[in-house]
């Protein structure tokens, strides 16, 4: 049975897409391996959102294709956002590469790979040099309906949580972002397909789903509202009604189209978790405008306040870009003040990275690396101080945690998450995995919480 190794960079959507590709190989009689040296097929699912992400994937493929001990029949492929963005120029950088597959073509990867591998293995006995010639494939075309192909899950025993892709693409064209060109136009899946997928996951023991989309709250944006409720809120309501499903999360929402109906959902949807990852990007209206983000900072803050009013224990995390072209010290300080005012539970801080064919890459006022680095470090200190304070405030409280499995740092302990998405380490046996248990938080070491099972 041929073995496939998939390395995934980038966001949760990429993780989900890799899972879909893995299911297709398993259905085709292959097995998955996490040991690259024993693989017959090596696929790297790539991200282009920042230059660093691209360099990591290119470096990894360079190392893998140049291993002297690699078997000559091994098939190497890039898929995902960098594959979409760079296309066949990747073959010039990496002559041993066989496949470059874009973001609307995942469901064809198995067929392409299997075809190349079979031919190579058949020819191997005759002429090895022949086997490598003329077999490369580059497929980065658009494909209608491709969003509906991300729907199968690996049967993973002991897993309690799953990602569900509900829409693909983005039409916002934020001036710094490559995603609209790598992921294409916004396309939503039919609601019934998503409900069927979640019901099937629940039958397999899944308790928590995270709905994925580049702007997840724009799901079904062309459908008319029903009783003042968007398609996204109606989908949340449907999922909330599924017996056996305990927790619903989604990522990432955008202030555009974030209306009262979604804020209200936090009042009456009991399975909707008390956490939202809500990218702010900047606290300066001047920079938001240059970024082509269609909101002002006050609007963003008022949305956070309304959500907290609807769900008082809501944890809010965010994405922030520092060092955008033309960002002055005062613009940066406005971001820092917004961070302090909102009090995020955590934040990802990114240094602006110029991306191919995006308007911001050609803007005046590109900032030196040293300024980006200094703002990143300064903001990180602020974010961390608030995060640590928020975690410390949880000591002594009781939280329901969904136990995910053995802790990564100590396999004798278990790790789980609160509805606020905070990781908690507890003592306990493997019978607790996949269960939701009440836990008293006993200690916080900054970013990690420790707890013990609360007596009934």
Q: Does 101 bind ligand F3S (CB under 6 A)?
A: no
Of 284, 353, 420, 444, the residue at the interface with ligand SAH (CB under 6 A) is 353
Phi, psi of 420 (to 5 degrees): -80, 5
Q: Does 182 bind ligand F3S (CB under 6 A)?
A: yes
Q: Does 48 bind ligand F3S (CB under 6 A)?
A: yes
Rounded Cα gap, residues 18 and 9, in angstroms: 10
Q: Is 138 annotated as a binding residue?
A: no
Q: Does 214 bind ligand SF4 (CB under 6 A)?
A: yes
Asked if omega into 252 is within 30° of 0 (cis), the reply is yes
Q: Token pair for residue 394?
A: 């949880």
Rounded Cα gap, residues 167 and 172, in angstroms: 14
Of 24, 164, 167, 215, the residue at the interface with ligand SF4 (CB under 6 A) is 215
Of 7-15, 57-65, 317-325, 409-417, which part binds ligand F3S (CB under 6 A)? 7-15
Q: Does 287 bind ligand SF4 (CB under 6 A)?
A: no
Among 18, 31, 30, 21, smallest CA distance to 57 is for: 18
CA dihedral (83, 84, 86, 89) positive or negative: positive
Q: What are all long-range contacts of 19-23, with beta carbons under 8 Å and residues at least 24 apart?
A: 19/152, 19/153, 19/154, 19/163, 20/106, 20/107, 20/149, 20/150, 20/151, 20/152, 21/45, 21/79, 21/106, 21/109, 21/110, 22/154, 23/152, 23/153, 23/154
Among 209, 211, 280, smallest CA distance to 246 is for: 209
Answer yes or no: are the C-beta atoms of 382 and 337 closer than 8 Å. no
Q: Does 376 bind ligand F3S (CB under 6 A)?
A: no
Q: Is 170 annotated as a binding residue?
A: yes
Rounded Cα gap, residues 74 and 133, in angstroms: 13
Beta strands in 152-206 (DSSP E): 161-165, 167-168, 187-188
Query: Residue 51 or 398: which CB sits closer to ligand SF4?
Result: 51
Answer yes or no: are the C-beta atoms of 208 and 160 closer than 8 Å. yes
Classify 96 as helix, strand or coil.
coil
Q: Is 273 annotated as a binding residue?
A: no
Of 4, 13, 280, 425, the residue at the interface with ligand F3S (CB under 6 A) is 13
**Which does residue 180 touch among ligand F3S, ligand SF4, ligand SAH, none (CB within 5 to 8 A, set by kind)?**
ligand SF4
Of 106-114, 147-155, 175-183, 281-289, which part binds ligand F3S (CB under 6 A)? 175-183
Q: Token pair for residue 60?
A: 């990894």
Give the nearest distance from C-beta 384 to ligand SAH in angstroms: 18
Of 172, 269, 392, 437, the residue at the interface with ligand SF4 (CB under 6 A) is 172
Of 12, 123, 180, 374, the residue at the interface with ligand SF4 (CB under 6 A) is 180
Give the nearest distance from C-beta 180 to ligand SF4 in angstroms: 5
Q: Is 174 annotated as a binding residue?
A: yes
**Which does residue 14 touch among ligand SAH, ligand SF4, ligand F3S, none (CB within 5 to 8 A, set by kind)?**
ligand F3S
Counting every residue written for the chain, the total comes to 456
Give the nearest distance from C-beta 184 to ligand SF4 in angstroms: 11
**Cα R_g (the chain), whole angstroms:** 23
Of 82, 109, 150, 177, the residue at the interface with ligand SAH (CB under 6 A) is 177
Residue indicated by tokens 């040991």: 35
Residues 117-156 that bind ligand SAH (CB under 6 A): none
Answer yes or no: are the C-beta atoms of 343 and 301 closer than 8 Å. no
Q: Does 355 bind ligand F3S (CB under 6 A)?
A: no
Rounded Cα gap, residues 318 and 315, in angstroms: 10
Of 79-87, 190-198, 338-346, 348-356, which part binds ligand SAH (CB under 6 A)? 348-356
Of 42, 174, 248, 414, the residue at the interface with ligand SF4 (CB under 6 A) is 174
**Which does residue 353 touch among ligand SAH, ligand F3S, ligand SF4, none (CB within 5 to 8 A, set by kind)?**
ligand SAH
Q: Does 170 bind ligand SF4 (CB under 6 A)?
A: yes
- Which residues of this chain interact with ligand SF4, rule CB under 6 A? 170, 172-174, 177, 179-180, 214-215, 254
- Which residues of this chain interact with ligand F3S, rule CB under 6 A? 10-11, 13-14, 47-49, 80-81, 178-179, 182-183
- Which residues of this chain interact with ligand SAH, rule CB under 6 A? 49-50, 176-177, 179, 214-215, 252, 254, 279, 281, 319, 321, 350, 352-353, 355
Binding site as annotated, residues for [4Fe-4S] cluster = 11, 47, 81, 170, 174, 177
């Amino acid at each position: 049975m041929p073995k496939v190794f998939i390395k995934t960079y980038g966001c949760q959507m990429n993780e989900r897409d890799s899972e879909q590709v893995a299911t297709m190989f398993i259905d085709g009689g292959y097995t998955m391996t996490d040991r690259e040296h024993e693989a017959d097929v090596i696929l790297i699912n790539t991200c282009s959102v920042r230059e660093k992400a691209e360099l990591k994937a290119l470096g990894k493929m360079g190392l893998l294709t140049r291993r002297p001990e690699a078997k000559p029949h091994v098939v190497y492929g890039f898929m995902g956002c960098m594959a979409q963005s760079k296309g066949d120029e990747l073959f010039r950088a990496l002559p041993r590469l066989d496949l470059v597959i874009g973001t609307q073509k995942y469901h064809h990867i198995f067929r392409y790979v299997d075809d190349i591998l079979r031919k190579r293995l058949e020819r191997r006995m005759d002429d090895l040099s022949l086997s490598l010639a003329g077999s490369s494939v580059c497929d980065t075309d658009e494909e209608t309906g491709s969003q509906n192909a991300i729907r199968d899950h690996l049967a993973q025993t002991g897993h309690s949580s799953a990602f569900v892709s509900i829409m693909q693409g983005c039409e916002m064209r934020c001036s710094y972002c490559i995603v609209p060109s790598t992921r294409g136009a916004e396309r939503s899946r039919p609601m019934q397909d998503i409900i069927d997928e979640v019901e099937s996951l629940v039958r397999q023991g899944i308790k928590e789903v995270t709905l994925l989309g580049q702007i997840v709250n724009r799901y079904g944006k062309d459908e008319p509202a029903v009783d003042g409720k968007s398609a996204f809120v109606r989908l949340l309501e449907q999922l909330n009604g599924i017996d056996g499903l305990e927790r619903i999360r989604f990522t990432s929402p955008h202030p555009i189209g974030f209306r009262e109906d979604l804020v209200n959902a936090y009042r009456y949807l009991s399975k909707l978790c008390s956490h939202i990852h809500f990218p702010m990007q900047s606290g300066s209206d001047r920079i938001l405008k240059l970024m082509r983000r269609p909101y002002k900072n006050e609007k963003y803050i008022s949305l956070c306040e309304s959500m907290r009013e609807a769900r008082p224990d809501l944890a809010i995390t965010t994405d922030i870009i520092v060092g955008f072209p033309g960002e002055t010290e005062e613009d940066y300080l406005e971001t820092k003040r917004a961070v302090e005012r909102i009090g995020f539970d955590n934040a990802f801080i990114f240094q602006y990275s110029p991306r191919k064919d995006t308007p911001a890459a050609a803007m005046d006022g590109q900032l030196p690396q040293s300024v980006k680095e200094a703002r990143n470090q300064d903001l990180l200190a602020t974010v961390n101080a608030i995060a640590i304070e928020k975690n410390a405030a949880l000591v002594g409280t009781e939280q329901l945690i969904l136990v995910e499995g053995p802790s990564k740092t100590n396999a004798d302990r278990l790790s789980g998450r609160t509805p606020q998405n905070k990781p908690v380490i507890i003592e306990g046996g493997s019978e607790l995995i996949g269960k939701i248990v009440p836990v008293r938080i006993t200690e916080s070491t900054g970013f990690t919480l420790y707890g013990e099972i609360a007596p009934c």
